[in-house]
């Protein structure tokens, strides 16, 4: 008899490559956010609201990403006598440093969002810049030392829970942007894998309109002229875009 989906998932290898792309997304977006924030003119609350909402969405995604690891990954590894306890302790300490930096960023966001005050703008930009070193160090450490431990300790089904939680953490209004941003973060080396993880309708949409989707969503975030023309262009295929807006991209 052919194996059931449950049996196949219980024996299949976990897809750790998906997490690498998610890590790239966080690095890509927080790196770009420093200049993005500094580019918002004093008093331009329309722009500060857009950028602040973007950073809040990223923060929610990063927080859930780490919370899922705290709850699902570290306990499994700590219980394994073959895993060095100091390694997990280092991961947990790195999470705490990132949470502290993210907390400082999120504390400054509401006031800047509402006022576009230039002093608060600089505080937000500096908080983004201060977050990056801790984030880069942790993500690289995790990819080098943690992801190789996953096969044999997690089934594909167990590991997929992290992806499911990540998808659920993407705020609805930001799903199209994050889908396009993930495609960019995947790069040429992981582009085929990225497409293969998408549900068939979303994959078709991305194959047809992926580059255009990235330009349009990025233009809106950056407040460029392309964002205005994108609104007009998007009005024609609006049914397709609307249909996919409820689909959560796979971080």
Are the beta carbons of 207 and 103 closer than 8 angstroms? no
Output the pLDDT for position 242. Answer: 32
Residues 13-56 have pLDDT tens digits of: 999 999 999 999 999 999 999 999 999 999 999 999 999 999 99
pLDDT tier at 249 (50, 70, 90 boundaries)?
very low
Burial of 171 (0-12, 13-18, 19+ CB in 10 A): middle
Output the pLDDT for position 185. Answer: 97
Residues 170-180 have pLDDT tens digits of: 999 999 999 99
pLDDT tier at 106 (50, 70, 90 boundaries)?
very high
Measure the CA–CA gap between 79 and 85, rounded to whole angstroms: 9
Token code pair at residue 163:
């992806």
Distance, CA of 197 to chain centre: 15
Burial of 165 (0-12, 13-18, 19+ CB in 10 A): middle
171: helix, strand or coil: coil
Token code pair at residue 45:
């609350």
Output the pLDDT for position 2. Answer: 36
Burial of 36 (0-12, 13-18, 19+ CB in 10 A): buried
Mean pLDDT of 125-140: 96
Instruction: Evaluate if residue 1 carries a pLDDT over 60.
Output: no
Q: Which region among 91-95, 108-112, 210-214 has the lowest average model confidence (pLDDT)?
A: 210-214
Measure the CA–CA gap between 77 and 159, rounded to whole angstroms: 13
Output the pLDDT for position 11. Answer: 55
Output the pLDDT for position 152. Answer: 95
Percentage of the chain lying above the pLDDT 90 cut: 82
Dihedral (C-alpha) 168, 174, 179, 183: value to the nearest 10 degrees? -130
Work out the mean pLDDT of the chain and round it to a whole number.
88
Distance, CA of 13 to chain centre: 23
Output the pLDDT for position 136. Answer: 97
Residues 202-229 have pLDDT tens digits of: 999 899 998 899 999 999 999 986 544 4
Output the pLDDT for position 246. Answer: 37
């Amino acid at each position: 008899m052919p194996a059931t989906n449950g049996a196949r998932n219980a024996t299949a290898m976990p897809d750790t490559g998906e997490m690498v792309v998610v890590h790239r997304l966080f690095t890509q977006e927080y790196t770009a956010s420093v200049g993005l924030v500094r580019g918002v003119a004093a008093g331009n609350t329309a722009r500060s609201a857009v950028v602040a909402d973007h950073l809040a969405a990223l923060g929610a995604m990063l927080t859930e990403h780490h919370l899922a690891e705290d709850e699902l990954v570290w306990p499994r590894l700590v219980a394994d006598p073959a895993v060095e306890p100091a390694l997990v302790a280092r991961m947990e300490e790195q999470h705490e440093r990132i949470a502290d930096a993210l907390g400082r960023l999120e504390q400054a966001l509401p006031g800047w969002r509402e006022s576009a005050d230039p002093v608060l703008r600089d505080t937000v930009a500096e908080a983004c810049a201060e977050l990056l070193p801790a984030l880069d160090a942790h993500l690289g450490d995790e990819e080098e030392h943690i992801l190789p431990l996953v096969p044999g300790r997690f089934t594909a089904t167990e590991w997929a829970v992290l992806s499911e939680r990540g998808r659920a953490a993407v705020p609805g209004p930001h799903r199209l942007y994050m889908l396009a941003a993930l495609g960019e973060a995947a790069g040429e080396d992981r582009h085929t894998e990225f497409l293969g993880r998408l549900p068939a309708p979303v994959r078709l949409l991305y194959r047809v309109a992926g580059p255009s989707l990235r330009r349009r969503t990025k233009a809106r975030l950056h407040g460029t002229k392309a964002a205005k023309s994108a609104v007009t262009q998007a009005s024609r295929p609006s049914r397709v875009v609307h249909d996919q807006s409820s689909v959560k991209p796979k971080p």
